[in-house]
Amino acid sequence: MENNYYIGIDIGGTNTVFGIVNEIGEIIFTSSFSTNEYKDPRDLVKDIYDKYINFINTKHIQASGVGIGAPNGNFYTGCIEFAPNLHWGENIPIVKIFNEIFKLPAILTNDANAAAIGEKFWGAAKDMKDFVVLTIGTGLGSGIFVNNNIIHGKNGYAGELGHTTIPESNRACTCGRIGCLETFVSSRGILQTYQEICAKKNIEIIIGDISTKDIYDLAQKGNKEAIETYKITGEVIGHSLANLVMILDPEAIFLFGGIANAHPILIPTISDVIDSNVLSLFKGKVKILPSALMNKNAAILGSTALFYL
Amino acid sequence: MENNYYIGIDIGGTNTVFGIVNEIGEIIFTSSFSTNEYKDPRDLVKDIYDKYINFINTKHIQASGVGIGAPNGNFYTGCIEFAPNLHWGENIPIVKIFNEIFKLPAILTNDANAAAIGEKFWGAAKDMKDFVVLTIGTGLGSGIFVNNNIIHGKNGYAGELGHTTIPESNRACTCGRIGCLETFVSSRGILQTYQEICAKKNIEIIIGDISTKDIYDLAQKGNKEAIETYKITGEVIGHSLANLVMILDPEAIFLFGGIANAHPILIPTISDVIDSNVLSLFKGKVKILPSALMNKNAAILGSTALFYL
């Protein structure tokens, strides 16, 4: 047993992905489970354990710990707290469940923190001490490194940039509040922006038939409404990030997630808006970059990297 | 020589205060200089040095280092950069000047960071790892602790909360931009708010004759316009802090500075507005508190504590 292996778990509302990662950040085994099929999280963990045992018996290796990334995963308590898309109750003691079934140490954090930790250890932030990762998907998450440490905050809730309120929005958010940043910067937000632009111009669209991927493809082909959608999205992110930059002075902000694939059209707008809205000291100082883990299992890599923090 | 002594320097646009602090945070000697009288900062440092030598010769002690707090003081470069109220040039190598004249190690940070470090070592944040200190005076500064460390950021510019833009303001800021938080939350901002309220009600006031202290005294006596001024100020801070709380999840936010003396009327408004504008997870979690160093030389204490970081 020359290598050190860690298990990475990415629990999502739809799928839970499990991987075994070696010490140079290679995923040597991966498997996926349908989260919704499990009424009890213990049954899911048992099925992951069975896959794990099958694999290690053939390879004669053993993992040293389990890193878990999950929506609303709390580093301090080891519990998934009030996750809107998981239906296992308000407070799931996921670390305890993994400890009991795997007989291994387990660490939990939220999915955006896991992505940021992945970027730090296996991505483009290796040499950075101060940076932010935005995970843009169904919602908007953020993982923040300061002084070479991920920010958890006093209660483990830090990084809720997606729910900061912005003057541009009076849209209802899934959290029950009005005007959150993620009402614009998320797949749902981008769809709504596109629909509103089309409605203003009396362009008929079939709402259920259009995805953010379609809007990106349209933008690539020069479609005006799709381009305007990304322009507005970039402006809204840029305004929020200008304030964030003046508070944290990060070296870089990375975009991660499905929508972040549109970075070639988003990044120039974001950079321009930041530079137009910061104190002159900060102009040109922060790099806006696509995540280097974009098409990899960043959450698995990041959750195993919890053991290297 | 049983004790360990450090020199603390608080460079301000008007006065520069010098103190010698022992290892339990007592200022055993202090002296003040008129900053404006010195055309060359080396002359100021030489005069401080003379005072220091006179004092240590009578007491037979020696300091181990010089901690400096200054507006736009950069921890990394040791320079005061583009400080609008100091007239010694754009880039003052203050650490180098202290090194050369005192023959001692010297550390620099900005004045808000010095206040936060003071709160950590000698104030009410001793047992806190994650907190924010707002220094409300001519401008609005912030010093932020995360994971038990002060945030400097990549370039040493972190903490410019006062220049984040807010939807409530279209006032011109001294930085040349429009809508900064400090256009409301600062002595100038409070005066302007009071003037605007009085103007709306056709109440005549003599602008040059009224200070923020007067407005506070009026509020204490039940004056409606003065109370409304502090209510608006508290609401504006509260909205900004609600977003900050969701990003950083701090344990407490401390108010420091002349205006912060009005905390009995500011804090209830700030707390209410934060609780009304955060995700439910965060409600009631953050404490808004007056600084415990309010009437002490916090910047001197904080700048010497740079050596304990």
Residue B84 has pLDDT above 80, yes or no: no
Task: Tell me the three state secondary structure of residue A255.
Answer: strand
Q: Which two tokens stand for residue A149?
A: 């440490």
Q: Closest chain B residue to A143 measured between Cα atoms? A: B247
Phi, psi of A34 (to 5 degrees): -85, 105
- Amino acid identity, position A69: G
Q: How far is CA B113 from the centre of its chain?
A: 7
Domain for residue A106, yes or no?
yes
Among residues B104, B9, B77, the alpha carbon closest in space to that of B48 is found at B9
Task: Tell me the three state secondary structure of residue A74.
Answer: coil
Domain count, chain B: 2
Q: What would the mean pLDDT of B121-134 be, rounded to a whole number?
A: 96
Residue A93 has pLDDT above 60, yes or no: yes
Residue B190 has pLDDT above 50, yes or no: yes
Looking at the structure, do residues B258 and B163 belong to the same domain, yes or no?
Answer: yes
Q: What would the mean pLDDT of B121-142 be, rounded to a whole number?
A: 95
Residues in chain B: 309
Looking at the structure, do residues A286 and A303 belong to the same domain, yes or no?
Answer: no
Q: What would the mean pLDDT of B157-182 be, rounded to a whole number?
A: 96
Looking at the structure, do residues A245 and A264 belong to the same domain, yes or no?
Answer: yes
> Is the pTM for the entire model greater than 0.80?
yes
Instruction: Give the list of residues 6+ apart from residue B26 with CB closer than 8 angstroms, or none.
Output: none
Looking at the structure, do residues A26 and A161 belong to the same domain, yes or no?
Answer: no
Residue A259 has pLDDT above 80, yes or no: yes
Q: Are B108 and B71 in contact (CB under 8 A)?
A: no
Among residues B111, B95, B100, the alpha carbon closest in space to that of B15 is found at B111
A24 at B interface, C-beta within 8 A = no
Residues in chain B closer than 8 A to A128 (CB atoms): 154
- What ipTM does this complex have? 0.94
The number of CA neighbours under 13 Å toward the Cβ of B124 is 18
Domain for residue B245, yes or no?
yes
Nearest beta carbon to residue B248 from set A158, A167, A286: A158
Looking at the structure, do residues A150 and A257 belong to the same domain, yes or no?
Answer: yes
Looking at the structure, do residues A193 and A82 belong to the same domain, yes or no?
Answer: no
Which residues partner with B288 through β-bridges? B253
Beta carbons of A243 and B282 less than 8 Å apart:
no
Residue A1 has pLDDT above 60, yes or no: no
Nearest beta carbon to residue A151 from set B158, B248, B282: B248
Identify from B76, B281, B282 which residue to disrupt to test chain A contact, counting A C-beta atoms within 10 A and taking the largest count: B281
Task: Tell me the three state secondary structure of residue A220.
Answer: helix
Range of the domain at A132: 127-290
Residue B141 has pLDDT above 60, yes or no: yes
B174 at A interface, C-beta within 8 A = no
Domain for residue B254, yes or no?
yes
CATH of the domain at B64: 3.30.420.40
Q: What would the mean pLDDT of B210-229 be, rounded to a whole number?
A: 93
A247 at B interface, C-beta within 8 A = yes
Domain for residue B252, yes or no?
yes
More confident residue, A147 or A13: A147
More confident residue, B89 or A31: A31
pLDDT digit string (tens) for B240-295?
Answer: 999 999 999 999 999 998 888 888 889 999 999 999 999 999 999 999 999 999 87
DSSP string, chain B: --S-EEEEEEE-SSEEEEEEE-TTS-EEEEEEEEGGG-SSHHHHHHHHHHHHHHHHHHHT--EEEEEEEETTB-TTT--EES-TT--S-SEE-HHHHHHHHH-S-EEEEEHHHHHHHHHHHHSTTTT-SSEEEEEESSSEEEEEEETTEE---SSS----GGGSB-TT---B-TTS-BSBGGGTSSHHHHHHHHHHHHHHTT----GGG--HHHHHHHHHTT-HHHHHHHHHHHHHHHHHHHHHHHHH--SEEEEESGGGGGHHHHHHHHHHHHHHHS-GGGTTTSEEEE-TTTTS-HHHHHHHHGGG-
Looking at the structure, do residues B265 and B304 belong to the same domain, yes or no?
Answer: no
What's the pLDDT band for B209 if we cut at 50, 70, 90?
Answer: confident
Note the pLDDT of residue A2: 52
Note the pLDDT of residue B288: 97
Nearest beta carbon to residue A147 from set B151, B167, B285: B151
pLDDT digit string (tens) for A140-175?
Answer: 999 999 999 999 999 999 999 999 999 999 999 999
Q: Are A27 and A42 in contact (CB under 8 A)?
A: no
Distance CA A86, CA A64 (A): 27
Looking at the structure, do residues B259 and B141 belong to the same domain, yes or no?
Answer: yes
Residue B14 has pLDDT above 90, yes or no: no
Whole-number average pLDDT of chain A: 94
Looking at the structure, do residues B22 and B133 belong to the same domain, yes or no?
Answer: no
Q: Which residue has the tokens 């809508």?
A: B179
Q: What would the mean pLDDT of B216-232 be, rounded to a whole number?
A: 95
Q: Closest chain A residue to B286 measured between Cα atoms? A: A154
Looking at the structure, do residues A161 and A225 belong to the same domain, yes or no?
Answer: yes
Looking at the structure, do residues B268 and B182 belong to the same domain, yes or no?
Answer: yes
Domain for residue A104, yes or no?
yes
Residue B1 has pLDDT above 60, yes or no: no
Domain for residue B71, yes or no?
yes
Domain for residue B282, yes or no?
yes
Nearest beta carbon to residue A279 from set B129, B175, B282: B175
Q: What would the mean pLDDT of B43-56 be, rounded to a whole number?
A: 96
Q: What would the mean pLDDT of A104-120 be, rounded to a whole number?
A: 95
pLDDT digit string (tens) for A170-218?
Answer: 999 999 999 999 999 999 999 999 999 999 999 988 777 888 999 999 9
Q: Closest chain B residue to A243 measured between Cα atoms? A: B164
Phi, psi of B286 (to 5 degrees): -100, 135
Q: Are B302 and B113 in contact (CB under 8 A)?
A: yes
Instruction: Give the list of residues 6+ apart from residue A213 with CB closer than 8 angstroms, or none.
Output: A258
Looking at the structure, do residues A185 and A89 belong to the same domain, yes or no?
Answer: no
In A12-130, DSSP assigns E strands to: 15-21, 27-34, 63-70, 80-81, 91-92, 106-110
Domain for residue A122, yes or no?
no
The number of CA neighbours under 13 Å toward the Cβ of B174 is 14
